[in-house]
Structures are given as structure tokens and as C-alpha cells.
Amino acid sequence: MAFNFEEVLSRDNSFEGSIAGKKVLLYGKNNTGKTFQATRLSKGKTFLIATEAGDSAVVCAKEPCTTWSHFKEIVTDLTNPKNVEKRRSMIDVVVIDTAENLIELSEMAIAREYGVRSIGDVQQAAKNNPNGYVLARTDFKSQINKLCLAGYCTVFISHTEKIDEIDEVSGETYQFVQPKGMSNEKSSMKMLVDLCDFTIYLKPNPVDRETLKVVPSTAICVRTRNVFGRSRFDIVPIINPFTAEGLKKAIEDAIKKSAENEGVGIIDFDVNNHKDYTKEDYFEIIKPYVERLYDICGDEIIDIIESQLGEGRRVTDATDDELVALDTIYNNLVTKATMLGIDI
């Protein structure tokens, strides 16, 4: 489809108001209810892809996944045009537990393909070998993009890591909690965080002293001084207590509020709405943002692009399998321009 700007302007800008097609990352310590509540988002229509043990108390369709090739088989089945309509009638939510394990499986597959023990050894193993991390990220993103574009609400489960941050004003060093692996620039975790519509931290609460009953976790949905959280929509800062019902309501309310703020309507998810843009369409609508913002914050623009496409790659290097990555780049550039007060 050739790019037609008039056709772009005529498109319905309404927001899709349900959890369908949304990408959610839930992270926290063990026993905070991440997997249990995620698999209750759509009772009877949730599918758990388990890369680690610990799903015995979860009641839903589930499949253990210990190799990257098996994950790709699952994605192929869920997204095959011949099957997808039937699968979508059976499954609303796909839960991947855990994201960091799945990333490791993708990296191990690349290492084995090149006959080395570690993915970091791929490039050194032979003169013309490519960068192993780039290969793993590219394959990982391709599979996740297929899953997301098919319209499933995709929930990624992750653990935490702590890093030291320095207060820019006081110089004080403090600890910051974020999804595990996010600090590794070579890993796919940073890309995954950027891809998600909602990244939510689950804070554990102590047992009630009087009743000795477990107190549900508290969900932190936005970034605080000590915790990473993010949403593309105007979500409440906290969900307390954290439950599947509370999470679903918070997401739907956030979309509704954002739509009201932007003066647009709410529509149901339609997978066909996500097939209108070709990579060439994205090239055209991204170009003016890159040209306008590069002189102002070039390093940040490069980071926005490379976090999705890989180090050294340009927007025009993207393939047909990277439409979600291009969509994420476009949304992040729009957000950056808005933050700077620049109208493009």
C-alpha cells in the first residue's frame, strides 16, 4: 500500500477500550500474585506459557516451554492466519512466565546455532560471524511482534533487580527497583519494557498481625523515586489491593480517561486496524520527527530507535516483521516531541 497522507488523516483515531491487544509487564518478588492474578484476567480464556516451575496453583490452559524452538512453535500456532480466528475465540490473554527466562532461551538458541557456549562468544568464534546479541534481539522481537499483532492481551511476568541511582540535586545515592535485566543494554528486556503499554511493579505487603492472613500486594503503575513504572495511558498511580479485577478496571479506565483527554472515542479491538500501516508508511510518518528532534536531542533519538531495532540500525533498516517496533518508535517520538512542546 503506497503511503497516502489524506487517507491517514481520515482514519479513526479512537482508542481501543479493552485489554485486547494490550501488552502488560508485571514484575515483583516471588509470591506477590503476579502469575496468579494475570491468569485470572479472563477466566477460562487464559493461556500460560511457563518457562519456569511454579504454576501448580494456577488454573488455566498452560504449556511448559524450555526451548526457544518450542516457543516459536507456540507463536506460530497462535498467529497462523488459518488458526488465529479460532484461537482468538478460545484465548483472550497469553501470559509468559517469565520474560527473562524466555530472553535467555532465545540467547541460548543463538549460541547453540553457532556452536559456542555463550552468546557473547558468537562474534569472536569466526571472522565473519554477526553479533550474537543482535541476532537474539531480532528473533525475539520478531516473535513477540507476531503475538502482539494477532491481538492477544499479552502479559509478561518478570522479577526485580536493584540498581544504584544518584540524585541529580543532592548527589545522594539510592536504590532503584526495575524489571530484571533492564540494566543490560545487550538484552531484549529494555526493548520489551519499551514495547509494553503498561509496566507495573507489585509491592509485597506484610502479613496482617491480627488475623495472620496474607495481605494482597500493592501495584505501583507509575514511576516513583525508587520504583520503575510506566503507562501509555492515564492510569491511576496505585492499585490497592492488586487483583485481576482491579488491574483490568485500571487499564480500561486509563484508556477511557486518555480518550476523553484527547477528545476521541472508544472502539473495540480489531486486528485489521493494526494492518493498515506498512513499514513504508511508518518510514514516512517517523521521518519528520527524527529530522525535527535530532538536532535537539540526537542521542535520545538514537536510543529510541536502537532500543527497538538494535545497535547501528536505522528506521529504514526495519523489516516487515518489525511493524510493532516501528509503531513503538513512532509513539515514543510523539511523546518526546510533546514533552518538549514541539508541534510536528
Same domain, 160 and 36: yes
Grid cell of 117 as nine digits = 557456549
Q: Is the pLDDT of residue 2 over 70?
A: no
Cα distances (angstroms) measured from residue 202 to each of 37, 55, 165, 178, 303? 11, 18, 20, 11, 28
Q: Are the C-beta atoms of residues 344 and 288 closer than 8 Å to each other?
A: yes
Domain assignment present for residue 212? The answer is yes
Among the three residues 210, 243, 265, which one is the final residue of a domain in this structure?
Answer: 265
Domain assignment present for residue 282? The answer is yes
Q: What 3-state class would DSSP assign to 120?
A: helix
* Closest to 185 (Cα-Cα) out of 110, 132, 133: 133
Same domain, 244 and 281: no
Q: What is the CATH number of the domain that holds 241?
A: 3.40.50
How confident is the prediction for the chain on average, in pLDDT?
88
Place of cell 516513583: 224
Q: Is the pLDDT of residue 1 over 50?
A: no
Domain of 335 in residue numbering reads as: 277-344
Q: What residues contact 254, with CB distance under 8 A and at least 6 apart?
A: 231, 233, 234, 235, 236
Same domain, 168 and 310: no
More confident of the two residues 76 and 308: 76
Same domain, 340 and 239: no
Place of cell 540526537: 298
Half-sphere CA count of 15, side-chain side, radius 13 A? 22
Among the three residues 209, 243, 265, which one is the final residue of a domain in this structure?
Answer: 265
Report the distance separating Cα 244 and Cα 320, nearest Å.
34
Same domain, 201 and 313: no
Domain assignment present for residue 332? The answer is yes
Domain assignment present for residue 270? The answer is no
Cα distances (angstroms) measured from residue 273 to each of 201, 265, 277? 30, 15, 9
Domain assignment present for residue 9? The answer is no
Same domain, 154 and 302: no
Domain assignment present for residue 102? The answer is yes
pLDDT-based confidence at residue 126 (cuts at 50, 70, 90)? confident
Same domain, 255 and 289: no
Count how many domains the chain has: 2
Place of cell 562468544: 121
What tens digit of pLDDT does each residue of 248-263 get? 999 999 999 998 988 8
Same domain, 201 and 169: yes
CA-CA-CA-CA torsion sign (113, 119, 121, 123):
positive
Domain assignment present for residue 218? The answer is yes
Q: What 3-state class would DSSP assign to 63?
A: strand
Same domain, 291 and 331: yes
What tens digit of pLDDT does each residue of 214-240 get? 899 999 999 999 999 999 999 999 999
Among the three residues 265, 298, 324, which one is the final residue of a domain in this structure?
Answer: 265
Same domain, 51 and 151: yes
